[in-house]
Amino acid sequence: MKKIIAPLSFVLLFGSHAVFADAEIEAIVDRHCQACHDSGLAGAPKMDDADNWAPRLASGIDAMTQTVISGKGAMPPKGTCFSCTDEQLKAAVEVMVQRLK
C-alpha cells in the first residue's frame, strides 16, 4: 500500500500547482524540444552553438519564453508542446538554458 500512496501524494502535492516537479519539465524538454535543438533541425539553434545563443540569452528568459509561446520561423507555437502552460514553457526554457554547452 505504501508503494501506491507515496507517488500519489507526490502528484497531489505538485500536480496542480505552479511548482512543477523538475522531472516533468525535463521530460517535456526531452520529448518536445531537443528533437530540433539537439541536431539543429529546421535551423534550430543547437545546444553547443554559443554564438547563436548569446543574443537570445541576452534578451532574457521572459523574452525567449514569449518567442517559444508564439513560435518563430521554423519553431511551431509552444515548441510543439501544445498541452503545455506558459509556466511550463518558461520552466522548459530554463531547463534548456541550463543544458546549453
Which is nearest to 99 in space by CA: 25, 18, 15, 17?
25
Cβ neighbours, 10 Å, residue 48: 11
Residue 21 binding ligand HEC, by CB under 6 A: no
By beta-carbon proximity to ligand HEC, the closer residue of 1 and 62 is 62
Residue 4 C-beta: closest distance to ligand HEC, Å = 31
- How far is it, in rounded angstroms, from Cα 45 to Cα 57? 12
* DSSP 8-class letter at 29: I
* DSSP 8-class letter at 46: P
- How far is it, in rounded angstroms, from Cα 60 to Cα 36? 21
Q: Which of these ranges, 3-11, 12-20, 74-82, lies near ligand HEC under the rule CB under 6 A?
A: 74-82
Residue 91 C-beta: closest distance to ligand HEC, Å = 9
Interface with ligand HEC (CB under 6 A), residue from 7, 73, 82, 83: 73
**Site residues (CB under 6 A) for ligand HEC?**
32-33, 35-37, 41-45, 56, 59, 63-64, 67-68, 72-76, 79-81, 89, 92-93, 96
